[in-house]
C-alpha cells in the first residue's frame, strides 16, 4: 500500500484503511512525518515532505488540513492543538490541550511522596487533579494548602496534587505544612504532562506543568477542566470542588 507522492498531496491507493500502517518510500529526504493520533489524515500528504515514509494512524477528523494533521515523526505529540496560558503576562504555550469534558481521561502512573505508585485506581471516589509547576513556588504551595483545607470535609472525593518536583521535595513540604487531606505525587518520570497536554513548551518554566485543574468522576470521565489564564494565578477552587461533588 502506497501513497501517491503527487505535487498536491497523495491518496492511499487501496479502498481499505487499516488502523495503523507504515508506508515506506523509495528514498528518504527531508523531514519524516506521521499523522497525528486524533486526526484522520490518510487522504493527505505534505507536498514539501515527499518522498518520505509516513505513518498513518486512523483518527476522527478527515476534513483537517495537512498542516493540522501531520507532525514530525517522533515528535511525541499526542495533541495537535496547543493551548496558551501566560506567565506574568507573557504568553506561554503547552504541548496540547486539556482532556475533553465527557471523555475518558488518560491513565496515569505517578510517584507518591513515599515512592509508591499513584494511579487513578489507587484513589477513591471522584478525583480533583490540581496540577502546577513546582511546590517550591508560593502560588503552587498555596494551592496545595487550600485544597488540603477544603478537602477535609469532602466525602468520596480525592484531591491529587501533581507537579514534576522530586518526591523528596514534595515529602518535605507535606511534612512541614501538615498536609494530610490530599495526595501529592510527582510526574517526573512519566508522560503525565504530555498525556494531559499540560507540559509547557516555552517560556522560563518550559518542561514544567502548567497550572490547571482536571476533575474526574468515579469512572475516570472528565467532568471539569481549567487552564488558568496566568500561571501566577490560583485556580478556581470552588468550581473544581463543585464539579467533584456533582453540583
Q: Which residues are catalytic?
A: 140
The CA distance from 170 to 155, in Å, is: 25
At residue 44, φ and ψ (nearest 5 deg) are -120, 160
Name the nearest CA neighbour of 48 among 3, 6, 1: 6
How many CB atoms lie under 10 A from the CB of residue 22?
A: 11
- Which stretch of DSSP H or E encloses residue 71? strand 70-72
Looking up cell 489564564, which residue turns up?
Answer: 229
Q: For the range 229-233, what are the long-range contacts, defined as Cβ-Cβ under 8 Å and sequence gap of 24 or more?
A: 229/85, 229/86, 230/85, 230/86, 230/87, 230/88, 230/89, 231/85, 231/86, 231/87, 231/88, 231/92, 231/133, 231/139, 231/205, 232/87, 232/88, 232/139, 233/139
Residues across the chain: 247
Which helix (DSSP H) or strand (DSSP E) does residue 84 occupy? Answer: strand 84-87
Amino acid at each position: 500500500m502506497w501513497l501517491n507522492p503527487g505535487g498536491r498531496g497523495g491518496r492511499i491507493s487501496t479502498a481499505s484503511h487499516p488502523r495503523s500502517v507504515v508506508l515506506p518510500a523509495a528514498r528518504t529526504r527531508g523531514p519524516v512525518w506521521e499523522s497525528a493520533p486524533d486526526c484522520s489524515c490518510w487522504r493527505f500528504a505534505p507536498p514539501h515532505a515527499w518522498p518520505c515514509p509516513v505513518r498513518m494512524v486512523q483518527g476522527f477528523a478527515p476534513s483537517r488540513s495537512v498542516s493540522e494533521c501531520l507532525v514530525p515523526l517522533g515528535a511525541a505529540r499526542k495533541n495537535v492543538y496547543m493551548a496558551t496560558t501566560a506567565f506574568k503576562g507573557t504568553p506561554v504555550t503547552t504541548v496540547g490541550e486539556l482532556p475533553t469534558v465527557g471523555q475518558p481521561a488518560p491513565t496515569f502512573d505517578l510517584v507518591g511522596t513515599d515512592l509508591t505508585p499513584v494511579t487513578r485506581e489507587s484513589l477513591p471516589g471522584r478525583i480533583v487533579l490540581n496540577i502546577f509547576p513546582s511546590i517550591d513556588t508560593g502560588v503552587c504551595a498555596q494551592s496545595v494548602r487550600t485544597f488540603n483545607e477544603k478537602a477535609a470535609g469532602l466525602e468520596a472525593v480525592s484531591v491529587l496534587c501533581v507537579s514534576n518536583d522530586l518526591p523528596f521535595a514534595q515529602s518535605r513540604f507535606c511534612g512541614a505544612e501538615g498536609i494530610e487531606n490530599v495526595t501529592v505525587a510527582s510526574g517526573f518520570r512519566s508522560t503525565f504532562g504530555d498525556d494531559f497536554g499540560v507540559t509547557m513548551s516555552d517560556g522560563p518554566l518550559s518542561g514544567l506543568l502548567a497550572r490547571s485543574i482536571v476533575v474526574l468522576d468515579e469512572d475516570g470521565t472528565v467532568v471539569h477542566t481549567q487552564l488558568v489564564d496566568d500561571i501566577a494565578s490560583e485556580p478556581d477552587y470552588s468550581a473544581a470542588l463543585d464539579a467533584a461533588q456533582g453540583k
